[in-house]
Structure 1
Amino acid sequence: MERAPGGVAWHETETIAASEIEVAVETEASGRSVLASLDRALELLQAGRIDALVFAPFNKAAMHKAGLAHADELHHMGERLGVTEYLSELNVLDGMWTSRTTSHIALRDVADTITAERLGDAVEVIDRTLRRSGIARPRISVAALNPHAGDGGNFGREEIDVLRPAIEAMQQRQMPVDGPWPSDTVFLKLRDGEIDAVVTMYHDQGQIALKLLGFERGVTVQGGLPYPVTTPAHGTAFDIAGQGTARVAAMRQAFDIACDMVANWQ
């Protein structure tokens, strides 16, 4: 790793030939380049050469063409780093955090996938990550799965049979969590600063809320990894590639959050 003038370290790694580059196109070559760069960054983390990783958004379709064996890069990183515990993407916007009980699965499979154990894992991951980000006493709420939190069982029993007993069990262990709250109102508590985080039931439940509040500033934290890893939450934006109009606020936020995590990591 070379250190350039001004204190910036530069690690040059050739992962793709110039002739293979196609702007805003999902290709196997670009996917191989992403995976090679990511794996090298993970090696630097493990070797103690860097303290955190901040990456620009990846295109999962290109990565899958290149052989990505997981649904997303988080679980690829987990395998490379030898992590066997629960992993979850966490989304952050202006100090508001969300995590997911289920993530990259079909919506029809969500209800059957939600268990007390998965909910407990999701709460523990975001509680630990918030503490590593400098929040000494996190306040966490759980979003319900069904409309009106199931309306006493009229619109589904997941809140009665799974969510509430799991939350009560966590409270007995002094976990700072409450709920389940109707998902159409719990994010107002988050927006107004009454809580620090919402644990959601599925991918879009939290993503829609945060992206509406500030799409260009959102950050994804790779929860459950042994190192701080962050990235902008907005995606690859192929529709504006090469136009010079991309905004950098989310990348700056991702860098700042990674720095906070390094400073508070235990």
Structure 2
Amino acid sequence: MRPRIGLIPGDPSGIGPELCARLLADEAAATADILLIGDHHVFELGQRQAGIEHPMIKVNAVDGDWDRAQRYALHAMETIAPDEVRVAESTEASGRSTLRVLDQALEFVQAGIIDAIVFAPFNKTSMHMAGIGHSDELHYMAEKLGVTGYVSELNTLDGMWTSRVTSHIALKDVAATIDGERIEEATHLIDRVLRQAGYERPRIAVAALNPHAGDGGNFGREEIDIIEPAVRKLAETQMAVEGPLPSDTVFLRVTRGELDAVVTMYHDQGQIALKLLGFDRGVTVQGGLPVPVTTPAHGTAFDIAGRGEADLGATRAAFALACSMVADRERDAVA
């Protein structure tokens, strides 16, 4: 059966609405049944920005009448007035709209109405203005879905994957936050997600924290005292893992096809590498949630919002990955 993907526009002030319009016009959209979730006028705004016109069939997915639609349908909401949408601006109204639409998508995935969620870029400033109550959307979603275990954003680009031991925290707090348990959890998570994505035995590297992997303790002891013992413990489980490897060279091995994934110690350690290699194709996976949730790895791009210049590449990749993860989950369930 075709995957049922919930597509939400992200922050209405950014490039998300335009990306949704472009995705519906792309051949990739034909691979799934798509439920648009959000304000009708926001999706119309995106169509005007993209210069693309789509007829939208409105349904009430709560009542189960989505089957009336062909290819895609719209579950229309009223979360923000048209005159409250301030293109290229962070606002509390946009943040409230983002969270309300996300809440509805999460309810639909819990009810089995959709199989996965793809969201266009969120704006963290707007969401914090609206009172998200968490450091980021992943931990917000985890609470809404009742997840109490380890969660972390994963990033992927052209078959290369990263996970993070720490994420949205100040760089000065990274070293004190890293411990063996977090390294093990981050590694197990990316191993599990890659297996769900079709990798039989993912090859994983754990990055060092300090320059030259600490240089034998001259530049810090985190590699000796924390990272290496954690990697050794993981290897004893027959996982294909090695490290700690210097972070300034580990991605060279990934690009040569010697590794599938890197467990990084902090946010930018992996993000800089992947965004440099392919900013227009990178995808973020909300790792640790019970259902596939993906998004383009770039942001709301206020500098080009409303100009009709948004590149679909990363959103197309996020959509394709969500569809693939749904298919892999269904195959595993049958097996």
Instruction: Please indicate the TM-score interval, normalised by the length of the shorter structure.
Output: over 0.9
SS, match of residue 221 in structure 1: strand
Q: TM-score, normalised by structure 2?
A: 0.78
Are 1:21 and 2:85 counterparts?
yes
Q: Answer yes or no: is the 8 Å Cα contact 1:3–1:10 preserved in 2.
A: no
Of stretches 6-15 and 97-106 in structure 1, the one that deviates more from structure 2 is 6-15
Structure 2: which amino acid aligns with 1:9? A
Are 1:241 and 2:311 counterparts?
no
Q: TM-score, normalised by structure 1?
A: 0.98
Inter-partner Cα distance in structure 1 for 2:69 and 2:108: 21
Displacement of 1:263 in angstroms is: 1.1
Inter-partner Cα distance in structure 2 for 1:101 and 1:142: 10
Are 1:155 and 2:219 counterparts?
yes
The aligned length equals 266
- Of residues 177, 181, 195, the one that matches 2:245 is 181
After superposition, residues 88-107 of structure 1 pair within 5 angstroms as: 88-107=152-171
Displacement of 1:7 in angstroms is: 2.4
Structure 2: which amino acid aligns with 1:264? D
Structure of larger gyration radius: 2
Q: Which residue of 2 aligns with 1:254?
A: 318
Inter-partner Cα distance in structure 2 for 1:106 and 1:46: 33
- Of residues 100, 123, 128, the one that matches 2:187 is 123
Please list every run of 5 or more consecutive structure 1 residues that lacks an aligned counterpart in the other structure.
Answer: none
After superposition, residues 30-49 of structure 1 pair within 5 angstroms as: 30-49=94-113
CA RMSD of aligned residues (A): 1.0
- Of residues 125, 136, 143, the one that matches 2:207 is 143
Displacement of 1:13 in angstroms is: 1.4
After superposition, residues 188-207 of structure 1 pair within 5 angstroms as: 188-207=252-271
- Percent identity, please: 67
Structure 2: which amino acid aligns with 1:158? E
Q: Which residue of 2 aligns with 1:263?
A: 327
SS, match of residue 75 in structure 1: helix
Inter-partner Cα distance in structure 2 for 1:96 and 1:20: 39
Q: Answer yes or no: is the 8 Å Cα contact 1:4–1:10 preserved in 2.
A: no
After superposition, residues 158-169 of structure 1 pair within 5 angstroms as: 158-169=222-233
Q: Which residue of 1 aligns with 2:27?
A: none
Are 1:215 and 2:279 counterparts?
yes
Inter-partner Cα distance in structure 1 for 2:309 and 2:144: 35
Are 1:229 and 2:263 counterparts?
no
Displacement of 1:160 in angstroms is: 0.3
Displacement of 1:153 in angstroms is: 0.6
